Amino acid sequence: MKQRIYINDVAVRDGFQIEKNFIPTETKIALIDALSETGLAKIEVTSFVHPKLVPNMADAVEILANINRVKGVTYSVLIPNLKGMERAIETHKTRGKVDEINVFLSASETHNRANVNRTCDQSFEDFAIMIKMAKDAGIRMMGIVATAFGCPFEGHVPEERVLGFAKRYVDLGFDGVTLGDTTGMANPAQVERISAALVQQCPNVEHTLHFHNTRGMGLANVVAGIRAGIVSYDGSLAGLGGCPFAPGATGNICTEDTVNMLEDMGYDTGVDLDKLLAAAVKMPAIVGHEVTGQVMRAGKTMHLHAVPDKLYTQ
């Protein structure tokens, strides 16, 4: 039996949040509905952040109220602070269900201050309040450790600090932990080592890895994570994305490229790659610029071509 690897897509949130032009709400909803039919495990559909800071997330409530939900797909949102948490729970109760909430802090103090204007300890004080709110509302919570493999300001981040933050999430009662390679600084040896330690230290929760392909090591890092026992991965359709508070950060690993690789390697992703590619090829027109996805241009590995009429040999 093939090993199952679970693929989550974050394009509508992580991908669209840095786009200069506003992506129409109906376009986002149509894209989420298309992704829902592909077999993805999770779709991160929006973020409850201040609309002046991230204009493309201003329609969070409308999105949750109008998407077509498919059984078996988890619809998640990102929350930056207590205010966002209050808005998400109110939406959950009155407009559109929230299956899972992602909250985050950076392993680096400098990046955490730049990203959310909080110290790491202050962030955890907020999380202690948020987890109670989520449990009362019946919503799952995942805790993200950003810059887990390196910080663009501080450089190396001690591994024991990353693992310590993961344990703090679990001790608070979170359902899972995500390690985020926010600026694409991770390498496969580092990923395998830290991921194996995470699985051993926090065995009874969900583990997810979130890679960016800034330095071209994203898919290699996925393979390293699988070797360490991680079976859940974030990707972004067409390779969109990048943290606005991380200098030099480029897009996330590409969802369809990841699925293509894993299926070729003999893993079961549960994803219909043809449906995923049908959505991906529309992305350049949606965002108004080229995207980094490879398989959408080259075709699936076994996408064969007609033999030329004339074959030339040397």
For residue 313, the model assigns a pLDDT of: 61
Residue with the bigger pLDDT between 113 and 304: it is: 113
Which one, of 62, 144, 76, lies nearest residue 105 by Cα? 144
Tokens describing residue 235: 């990707």
User: How buried is 158 (Cβ within 10 angstroms: 0-12 exposed, 13-18 middle, 19+ buried)?
Assistant: exposed
Q: Looking at per-residue confidence, does 250 or 59 come out higher? A: 59
Q: Are 180 and 144 in contact (CB under 8 A)?
A: yes
Quick one: pLDDT at residue 280? Answer: 98
What average pLDDT score do residues 52-77 get?
97
How many whole angstroms separate alpha carbon 117 and alpha carbon 81?
Answer: 10
Task: Output the pLDDT for position 283.
Answer: 97
The reported pLDDT for the residue numbered 304 is 78
Mean pLDDT, rounded, for 234-251: 76
Query: Mean pLDDT across the stretch 150-165?
Result: 96
191, 209 Cβ separation under 8 angstroms: yes
**Predicted local confidence at residue 242, as pLDDT:** 66
Bridge pairing between strands 232-235 and 206-211? parallel
CB atoms within 10 A of CB 136: 9
The answer, yes or no, to whether residue 74 has pLDDT greater than 60, is yes
Cα–Cα distance, 254 to 146 (Å, whole number)? 19
Does residue 244 register a pLDDT over 60?
no
* The predicted structure's pLDDT at residue 61: 98
Angle at 186 between CA 185 and CA 191, to 5 degrees: 165
Identify whether 243 is a catalytic site residue.
yes
3-state secondary structure of 241: coil
Contacts of 48 by beta carbon, 8 Å cutoff, 6+ apart: 57, 60, 77, 78, 79, 80, 83, 84, 85, 87, 88, 91
pLDDT, one tens digit per residue, over 121-133 is 999 999 999 999 9
| % of residues, the chain, pLDDT over 70 | 96
Q: Which of 120, 151, 202, 243 is catalytic?
A: 243
- pLDDT of 312 reads 64
Which of 306, 284, 226 lies closest to 258 in space, CA to CA? 226
pLDDT-derived band at 22, boundaries 50, 70, 90: very high
pTM of the model as a whole: 0.95
Q: Which CATH superfamily is domain 6-298 in?
A: Aldolase class I (3.20.20.70)
- Helix %, strand %, coil % of the chain (to 5): 45, 15, 40
Which segments of the chain are extended strands (E)?
6-9, 42-47, 74-79, 100-106, 140-146, 176-181, 206-211, 232-235
From residue 16, how far is each of 80, 188, 217, 241, 271 by CA, in Å?
A: 16, 28, 23, 7, 22
Rg (CA), the chain: 19
Over 60: is that where the pLDDT of 208 sits? Answer: yes
Q: Both ends of the chain: CA-CA distance in Å? A: 45
Kindly report the average pLDDT of the chain as a whole number.
95
Query: 10 Å Cβ neighbour count for 279?
Result: 24
pLDDT band at 245 (very low <50, low <70, confident <90, very high): low
pLDDT at site 251? 82
Band (pLDDT 50/70/90 cuts) for residue 137 is very high
Six token digits for residue 204: 């009874």
Contact between residue 210 and residue 241 where contact means Cβ atoms under 8 Å apart: no
Q: Are 10 and 42 in contact (CB under 8 A)?
A: no
